Amino acid sequence: MATASPSVFLLMVNGQVESAQFPEYDDLYCKYCFVYGQDWAPTAGLEEGISQITSKSQDMRQALVWNFPIDVTFKSTNPYGWPQIVLSVYGPDVFGNDVVRGYGAVHVPFSPGRHKRTIPMFVPESTSKLQKFTSWFTGRRPEYTDPKVVAQGEGREVTRVRSQGFVTLLFNVVTKDMRKLGYDTGPLDTQGVSRPSPPQGFPQ
Amino acid sequence: MVSEESQLGNQPEPVQEEPKTHLLSMTVRRGPRSLPPIPSTSRTGFAEFSMRGRMREKLQAARSKAESALLQEIPTPRPRRLRSPSKKELETEFGTEPGKEVERTQQEIDSQSYSRVKFRDSARKIKPKPQVPPGFPSPEEAYNFFTFNFDPEPEESEEKPKARHTVGTNQGEEEGEEEEPPTRGRGKEMDEEELLTGDDAEDFLLGLDHMADDFVAVRPADYESIHDRLQMEREMLFIPSRQTVPTYKKLPENVQPRFLEDEGLYTGVRPEVARTNQNIMENRLLMQDPERRWFGDDGRILALPNPIKPFPSRRPVLTQEQSIKAELETLYKKAVKYVHSSQHMIRSGDPPGNFQLDIDISGLIFTHHPCFSREHVLAAKLAQLYDQYLARHQRNKAKFLTDKLQALRNAVQTGVDPEKPHSSLDTIQKTINEYKSEIRQTRKFRDAEQEKDRTLLKTIIKVWKEMKSLREFQRFTNTPLKLVLRKEKVDQKTDEEAYEAEIQAEISELLEEHTEEYAQKMEEYRTSLHQWKAWRKAQRAKKKKRKQAAEDHPDDEIEEPHPEEDLVKPTPPEPTNRAVIEQEVRERAAQNRRRPWEPTLVPELSLAGSVTPSDQCPRAEVSRREDVKKRSVYLKVLFNNKEVSRTVSRPLGADFRVHFGQIFNLQIVNWPESLTLQVYETIGHSSPTLLAEVFLPIPETTVVTGRAPIEEVEFSSNQHVTLDHEGVGSGVPFSFEADGSNQLILMTSGKVSHSVAWAIGENGIPLIPPLSQQNIGFRSALKRADAISSIGTSGLMDMKKLAKWAAESKLDPNDPNNAPLMQLISVATSGESYVPDFFRLEQLQQEFNFVSDQELNRSKRFRLLCLRSQEVPEFRNYKQVPVYDREIMEKVFQDYEKRLRDRSVIETKEHIDTHRAIVAKYLQQVRESVINRFLIAKQYFLLADMIVEEEVPNISILGLSLFKLAEQKRPLRPRRKGRKKVTAQNLSDGDIKLLVNIVRAYDIPVRKPAMSKFQQPSKSSRMFSEKRAASPSTHSPTHNADYPLSQVLVRPFVEVSFQRTVCHTTTAEGPNPSWNEELELPFRAPNGDYSTASLQSVKDIVFINIFDEVLHDVLEDDRERGSGIHTRIERHWLGCVKIPFSTIYFQARFESQEDEKLLQATEKFQAECALKFPNRQCLTTVTDISGKTVFITRYLKPLNPPQELLNVYPNNLQATAELVARYVSLIPFLPDTVSFGGICDLWSTSDQFLDLLAGDEEEHAVLLCNYFLSLGKKAWLLMGNAIPEGPTAYVLTWEQGHYLIWNPCSGHFYGQFDTFCPLKNVGCLIGPDNIWFNIQRYDSPLRINFDVTKPKLWKSFFSRSLPYPGLSSVQPEELIYQRSDKAAAAELQDRIEKILKEKIMDWRPRHLTRWNRYCTSTLRHFLPLLEKSQGEDVEDDHRAELLKQLGDYRFSGFPLHMPYSEVKSLIDAVYSTGVHNIDVPNVEFALAVYIHPYPKNVLSVWIYVASLTRNR
């Protein structure tokens, strides 16, 4: 079916937002969205999603499991601006106000196959102690104007954040025509990629 | 490790343990064979030793025996196992025995239990490891623990590797010597398994290990005497001395040290190392490495150049507070006076003023002067020629070339054997050929030179003759010039011979050449002849064929009249004729050369002649001479275009020479940019006239006084002088001939002899200013300076300067750092090689480029990506850049390239008149600069841009939120909260819709009842001028009867058009319709860019048009009325509202020029106001056009309106005010958000506004307010909200007893209580000296009191607590108006009319557009009337007239009035009327344009567009 010289390549991502570890919080839900460059366009699937509220498991693990599926296909002409998934986790605070519990972002894996990613999450800090108190009290904590800023570098220097917990994501990545367009992202045989790649940057 | 072992003797040993024991033994063996080494003081040790010695001997013997025994026993290893349990037995047994005896006994037993050992060994072989159970010492270890004295550690560790290595090889020997007990067993084992040495040793002690626990050896503590230790240390350690090593030691024998640096090789700077350290290292190296590899040829340790830079490449980080303070400490420095000379200013650090330029002006000679007589002209010519002659004579090129020719001929002669010229070798032939061609060349040159010489001589003689004849003719002499021709006699015979020989030689050469040429030509001829013959043949064949063909198909013949070009038969070349050549040569020689019989002529010019005294001259000549005497000349010296000095005025001599002999010493501060001499001539007492300017070169820095040669600089002037005496004048044709032919035009010209040099100071330092920060004069400063700082970047381009600098700064040519520079210089100074006109910084870059830059730039994809990344507006939102170049259309770049091209070109086509084109360009530039500034500001994010955070609430809110705690957390029916701003990231085409809610209309003009058509229509709305101007539709009474809906006065509907998308409401009826409809228009952002900045620069306007729908019955036949309805809907435009799609958007991050205190006050004021009435506009500071914050009252100041307007109604103030308001409204409206991309609201001052001829409400209001102030009215700027502008600025005036509100953009005014006033609320009033904020309960103008003196109603900015500081106005003192060019306006009018007509035709592509000329001309006459009456009160006359003239036409049209800004807006306005939509088959159109020019190029444009339908 493939034409001799494709003009776009396709990136299909499916998987799920598996679970999260937020030791102090419960009853969380998460939102995800994709941030991608100008040369990218989604062709199928959902770019954004909001999950159900999940409670902690009653066992040792205390895991918050969503198992919220992601399924989206992008087309692109340029690997610049490779899609990133941006996650933001929300949950009620002591007074029952919905507050943000964490932001995080990670690039969709480049190579085809199955990948597991654990993203550390963080929230912006209040500018002062008083602010912190009032925001705690009123339940209106500082939030990013747009969650997508966590996928960008611009303007981050004015913010201070605190890390909160982890979210584990599972990606199954399929690409099409990338090699034909000259982009080599992985091993030739994609059969041996069944093992999950090691998580990013921190001990599990 | 050993010590540890001795302590933890009962621990299981590591595997290395055994080798170590061997080690020990080894060391000892090396020594005096006393083993283990026991201090002599120890008696016990001694006894042991002797005993052991004996035992050893025994064992030796036993060993040899055992060996042989074991050999025999090998085949039966099995029974050995049986013995292994005995180990334990033995252990217990030996445990009780005391020390020495035990030792001996053990050994004896050992020898006895020999066979046992053997057995165990073989068992070991099978199971070697588990022999020593964990937690117990190995037998050997145990033994060693009690018996050995351990050697000092260092020795051991040093020997260890060696020992370990030798374990395997020296085994036998070792064991034999030292460990007697093991050796026996070992000896046998060796045969069995030689490599298992460690295990062997262990096994060996099997017999001993049981006693380990029980040994107690009492010995004194080990002590080594200090001497011994020192001795040993001396053996083992080496302490390098600190003494300097003599060089000979460091070098191979008989080698002299060699110093590379002295030989001129680059060595670099060695790193600093202390002398002693170097010595130590040298000594050490000498000891360790006898080959002296570490030493260089100069006998020093090899070292790389010091890698440490002397200066830090990073800025110093200030860690301590003190240092920060030190850095920030301010120092008082006296202000330095700014010398106004930009780049070449001498730095303040240099001692100013002690640079000096000496200009020596020695004299002036005129080569032509108006007072020259004819004789003078000739004399000057003669002098010039003579100079030329002297110069040529000095060079004597002809002679040189002759000699060269001779030499070449000789060379050829010797090279060629004349008898057999063809037998010579190729190489000789080649050189000879080269010689010959050179001879040819040289001969040509020589001939040319000789010819020149000769002609020069001839000309000199000719001029001299002319001069003589002139002198004779005029009978007086003016010049002392005298030419003497000296004849030098020559020996005629030799001369003749030489001449003849020369000719002969030349002839023979030429002959040779010719024969060669002939041969060549012959060859060519032959080939071409051959070709021609072949062609002839073919041609003949063809002809034959054709003939045949022609016979067959006679038609074809015509088709090929000239199948091939006819070849011409070549002609054979003519053979050379000697006679001809000879004649040629002789002729040439006669022409160019001195004939042999002629004597050599040497001209000599002297000034020996006498000048005829004046009294013997004719009158004309006398007057000329007197005129000359009257004249005097002086020179002005200009330095950097400033006169610095002038010479004395000297009279012009009769020989037209002026001697000055003056030296000017110029003390200079600035670097000389130009040095000019101006030649002035004074005639009598009249003022001096500038004759010419002479530009002197600025001397090189090496030229100092005393060394500068006197140079002559020529000058000439283009003045035209005609004199009434003998003088020939300047720039005037004159002739020497009687008949006036051969005219000459001479210009005043001359030479200044001068010299310019730098002065030398007292101490011999040249007083030269640094050449753009360089100071060549001071060597010390140079040493550290790099090239750029010393000669300036411009100097880098100049290779000579660079080379000079390199030479002067004593650059090390061998320093690799300087290599590129040196190479460059060498290339540059060698001259011939190619010197690139660029300086490559990264020479290697090219090698790493995978494609060439050109190729990369040619890639369209790359270009697109680059442009997008640079955020070029056209590409900022380009999505999905194609993968391949071929998929990118070239037209993608067209717009961008066009914009780039147009940036410099003022596009007059679109704007028609140049002033507006220039303004448009200026606006574009301002806009770009503002946007650039904004983009930079945009890079700096504030926290608020990134994070949404609640402000710290005050108590009330806190309380409220406390109250909220009790609320339901997640109510089932949540109430809607304020919506967050939609970020523009995800928007795409079609997502944004423009919603227009049309509610109702009032006072819509109604159709005239057919009978009463001259009646006044119902009063139109006062809001929009267009409505007033709209003419009611006219119907012919005959048709009126047919209308089923004729009772209805008007059927209006509203049409909204935006971005050429049109939506309309349903048709309502009556003059006060109510639609209540929502119209939805899709919105497209430019370039698909939905960012806020882009959205705000959308220039599109929302047009809301009201039309009257008219139904025409077009049924031709009344009989069909029953069966079908056939009507045509016509719509008639009634009026329109325009709403620009732009919102106001503040982004004020700009600097300010106001006082800090004032700014604080403004902030406070605004904050207070905003707190009380957040919806009311409060303005205190605005941004001016240069981006600075300015206090608003500075904009208000009485300014004069154009006098022209004031003259119209000199006695009627109100009428004048209205006229002025109209004038202001005629200045085109251009919202800031459009011009400045929605970034900020810029206020321009009134003069800027009038220059730009574009501005938004504020500018209009400010100008109008200023005019009113100047008219003596009380006027304020009124900031508020209006419909449809939104936040805007109006003008409020106080007329006798009432207030008037003026809309500056339309020029209309409203009473305070006028319900139709578009102004809906009032925020603040601004006067020239204060701001008043509305603190009344209401803000509608109807309900408020405008009396600003009441502090309860109006909060003033300046009050008693903060008095008005007297801010100066930013406005100009006075506005200057130019009268508009009527002709230009008329021209513009014609062009616009033409353009609009073309457009209307374009909009009707399917219909024929006819123009009714008659109607057009009527309309054209009518429009000026409209302008005069400002569009009022002329309707009736007009209609009457129209009806009269167009009796049988149905006419529907409207005059449009608008200020003129650009054609596009006019086109849009005409389009929006929809006149072109009429598709009645026989419709005709009329269109007239009238432009009325107001001062300052403000143009009022009237367009009358109408459609006419002929009544049947």
| First-to-final CA distance of chain B | 132
**B1287 pLDDT higher than 90:** no
User: How much is the pLDDT for A109?
Assistant: 93
- Position of tokens 């600190």? B242
Q: What is the dihedral of CA B333, B334, B338, B344, to 10 degrees?
A: -50
Nearest CB among A96, A143, A148 relative to B947 is that of A143
Instruction: Find the angle CA(B1157)-CA(B1161)-CA(B1163) to the nearest 5 degrees.
Output: 115
**Residue B791: half-sphere exposure toward Cβ, Cα within 13 Å:** 19
pLDDT band at B77 (very low <50, low <70, confident <90, very high): very low
Per-residue DSSP letter, B760:
B
Least confident range from B135-139, B991-995, B1073-1077: namely B135-139
Residues 164-203 of A with CB under 8 A from B: 181
Distance CA B26, CA B46 (A): 20
**The CATH fold of domain A9-181:** Immunoglobulin-like (2.60.40)
A135 to B965: CB separation less than 8 angstroms, yes or no: no
- How buried is residue A180: exposed, middle or buried, by Cβ count under 10 Å (0-12/13-18/19+)? middle
Asked if A127 has any chain B CB less than 8 Å from its own CB, the reply is yes
ipTM here: 0.81
Tell me if A142 and B884 make a contact (CB, 8 A cut-off): no
Interface test with A, best of B850, B880, B1092 (most A CBs within 10 A): B880
- Look at A38 and B880 and tell me if their CB atoms are within 8 Å: yes
Lowest mean pLDDT among B617-631, B762-776, B832-846, B1149-1163: B762-776
Inter-CA distances, B1338 with B1086, B1175, B1286, B1335, B1344, Å: 41, 11, 18, 8, 6
Report how far apart, in Å, the C-alpha atoms of B1495 and of each of B685, B1307, B1458, B1503 are: 50, 17, 16, 20
Closest residue of chain A to B864, computed from CA coordinates: A39
- Cβ of B945 within 8 Å of Cβ of A130? The answer is no
Q: How far is B1091 from chain A (nearest CA, A)?
A: 14
Neighbours of B872 (CB within 10 A): 15
Q: How far apart are CA B746 and CA B732, in angstroms?
A: 7
| A134 shares contact with chain B (CB less than 8 Å) | yes
Rounded to an integer, what distance in angstroms lies between the CA atom of residue B147 and that of residue B216?
A: 10
What does the mean pLDDT of chain B come to? 70
Query: pLDDT at position A100, please?
Result: 92
Name the closest residue on chain A to residue B966, using Cα atoms: A95
Using CA atoms, how far residue B901 sits from B236, B967, B1051, B1375, in Å, is 86, 65, 51, 35
Task: Show the DSSP H helices in B482-612 as ranges.
Answer: 492-552, 578-592
Residues B1241, B1235: Cα–Cα separation, whole Å: 10
Pairing type for strands A98-107 and A84-92 reads antiparallel
Hey, what amino acid is at A192? G
Residue in chain A closest to B955 (alpha carbons) equals A134
Residue A65 has a pLDDT of 94
In sign, the C-alpha dihedral spanning B247, B250, B256, B260 is: negative
Question: Quick one: B916 exposed, middle or buried, by C-beta within 10 A (0-12, 13-18, 19+)?
Answer: buried
DSSP H or E stretch at residue B1104: strand B1101-1113
**Chain B positions with Cβ closer than 8 Å to A:** 865, 868, 877-884, 887, 939, 941-943, 945-950, 952-953, 958, 961, 965, 969-970, 983, 985
Quick one: average pLDDT of A39-60?
91
Rounded distance, CA B1026 to CA B992, Å? 31
In sequence order, the 6+-apart residues with CB closer than 8 A to the CB of B1036 are B1010, B1450, B1511
Query: CA–CA separation, B1370 vs B1354, rounded Å?
Result: 26
CA neighbor of B1423 nearest in space, from B1507, B1500, B1509, B1508: B1500
Query: Quick one: pLDDT at residue B242?
Result: 83
- Longest CA–CA span in chain A (Å) reads 64
- In tens, the pLDDT along B1231-1252 reads 655 555 444 567 778 887 887 7
- Pairwise CA distance, residues B1359 & B1349, whole Å: 11
Mean pLDDT score, B516-543:
85
B372-431: per-residue pLDDT in tens?
887 888 888 888 888 888 888 887 777 888 888 888 878 777 765 544 445 456 677 777
| d(CA B985, nearest CA chain A) in Å | 10
Interchain CB distance below 8 Å, A142 and B865: no
d(CA A186, CA B363) in angstroms, rounded, equals 87
Site of tokens 């944004």: B992
Beta bridge partners of A144: B947
d(CA A18, nearest CA chain B) in Å: 27
Nearest to A144 among B939, B946, B970 (CB): B946
3-class DSSP assignment, residue B414:
helix
Q: Which of B465, B810, B448 is nearest to B603 (CA)?
A: B465
What is the structure's pLDDT at B991? 60
Letter string b/e over residues B724-747, b meaning 16 or more CB atoms within 10 A of that residue's CB: ebbbbbbebeeebeeeeeeeeebb
Give tens-digit pLDDT for B831-882: 544 555 667 677 677 777 777 778 887 888 888 888 888 877 777 778 888 8
Give pLDDT, residue A16: 94
DSSP strands (E only) in B1315-1400: 1319-1326, 1331-1334, 1354-1356
CB B1488 within 8 A of CB B1420: yes
pLDDT in tens, B968-1024: 666 677 666 654 444 444 444 456 677 778 887 877 777 765 433 333 333 333 333
Cβ–Cβ gap B983/A146 under 8 Å? yes
Instruction: Please give the Cα distance from B737 to B724 (Å, whole number).
Output: 19
**pTM of the predicted model, to two decimals?**
0.42
Q: Which residue from B404, B416, B414 is spatially nearest to B444, judged by alpha carbons?
A: B404
Instruction: State mean pLDDT over B1086-1110.
Output: 65
- Three state DSSP letters for chain A: CCCCCCCCEEEEEEEEEEEEECCCCCCEEEEEEEECCCCEEEEEECCEEECCCECECCCCCCCEEEEEEEEEEEEECCCCCCCEEEEEEEEECCCCCEEEEEEEEEECCCCCEEEEEEEEEEEECCCCHHHHHHHHHHCCCCEECCHHHHHCCCCHHHCCEEEEEEEEEEEEEEEECCCCCCCCCCCCCCHHHHCCCCCCCCCC
B755 or B1142: whose pLDDT is higher? B755
For residue B822 the two structure tokens come to: 């040196």
B630: how many CB neighbours lie within 10 A of its CB? Answer: 15
pLDDT score at B767: 72
Taking an 8 Å cut-off on Cβ atoms, the answer to whether A137 and B877 are in contact is: no
**B438 CB-contact burial (10 Å; exposed 0-12 / middle 13-18 / buried 19+):** middle
Please report residues of B whose CB lies closer than 8 A to that of A157: 941
Question: DSSP character for B191?
Answer: H
Residues of chain A numbered 96-115 and touching chain B (CB < 8 Å): 96-97
Residue B955 has pLDDT above 70, yes or no: no
Backbone angles phi, psi at B680, to 5 degrees: -115, 145
Task: Measure in Å the smallest separation between the Cα of B953 and chain A Cα atoms.
Answer: 8
Across residues B744-750, what is the average pLDDT? 80
Choose the mutation target among B949, B967, B985 for the interface with A, i.e. most A CBs under 10 Å: B949
For residue B968, the chain A residue with the least C-alpha distance is A96
Find the residue in A nearest to B1089 (Cα). A38
Measure the CA–CA gap between B382 and B1099, rounded to whole angstroms. Answer: 77
CB contacts < 8 Å between A and B, how many?
A: 92
Q: Is B713 exposed, middle or buried (0-12, 13-18, 19+ CB in 10 A)?
A: middle
CB contact under 8 A, A95 and B965: yes
Residue A145 near chain B (CB below 8 Å): yes
Query: For residue B675, what pLDDT is reported?
Result: 82
- E strand segments, B888-1034: 947-948, 993-1000
DSSP state letter for B263: T
Residues of A in contact with B961 (CB under 8 A): 137-138
CA of A140 vs chain B CAs: smallest distance (Å): 7
Q: Domain coordinates of chain A in residue numbers? A: 9-181
Q: Which of A38, A96, A137 sits opposite B878 (nearest CB)?
A: A38
Mutant choice from A141, A145, A148 vs B, greatest count of B C-beta within 10 A: A145
Contact A7 B961 (CB under 8 A): no
Helical axes B492-552 vs B578-592, angle rounded to 10°: 130
Q: Which of residues 65-84 of A touch B (CB under 8 A)?
A: 76-78, 80
Q: Cβ A78–B883 below 8 Å, yes or no?
A: yes
The rounded Cα B1383 to chain-centroid distance in angstroms is 45
Q: Write out pLDDT tens, residues B552-579.
A: 555 444 444 444 455 666 677 777 677 7
3-class DSSP assignment, residue B1320: strand
Residue B1153 in this model has a pLDDT that exceeds 70: no
When scoring B883, B968, B969, B1092 by the number of chain A Cβ atoms within 10 A, the one with the most, hence best to mutate, is B883
Check B948 against A144: CB less than 8 A apart.
Answer: yes
Whether the CB-CB separation of B606 and B387 falls below 8 Å is answered with no
Which stretch of DSSP H or E encloses residue B71? helix B43-73
CA-closest candidate to residue B477, choices B658, B625, B627, B653: B625
C-alpha span between B1066 and B1129 (Å, rounded): 13
| pLDDT at position B100 | 45
The pLDDT tens digits of the residues spanning B898-936 come to 877 766 555 555 555 666 666 677 767 766 766 666 666
For B1126, half-sphere exposure in the C-beta direction (CA atoms, 13 angstrom radius) is 11
Assigned token pair, A156: 């981050």
What tens digit of pLDDT does each residue of B662-682 get? 888 887 776 677 788 888 888
d(CA B1191, CA B1166): 13
Cβ-contact B435, B472 below 8 angstroms? no
Identify whether the C-beta of residue B1247 lies closer than 8 Å to the C-beta of residue B1103: no
Token match 């003749």: residue?
Answer: B496
β-pair partners for B1286: B1282
Distance CA B1453, CA B264 (A): 98
Best B878, B879, B950, B969 residue to mutate vs chain A (most A CBs within 10 Å): B950
Q: Is B1297 helix (H, G, I), strand (E, B) or coil?
A: coil
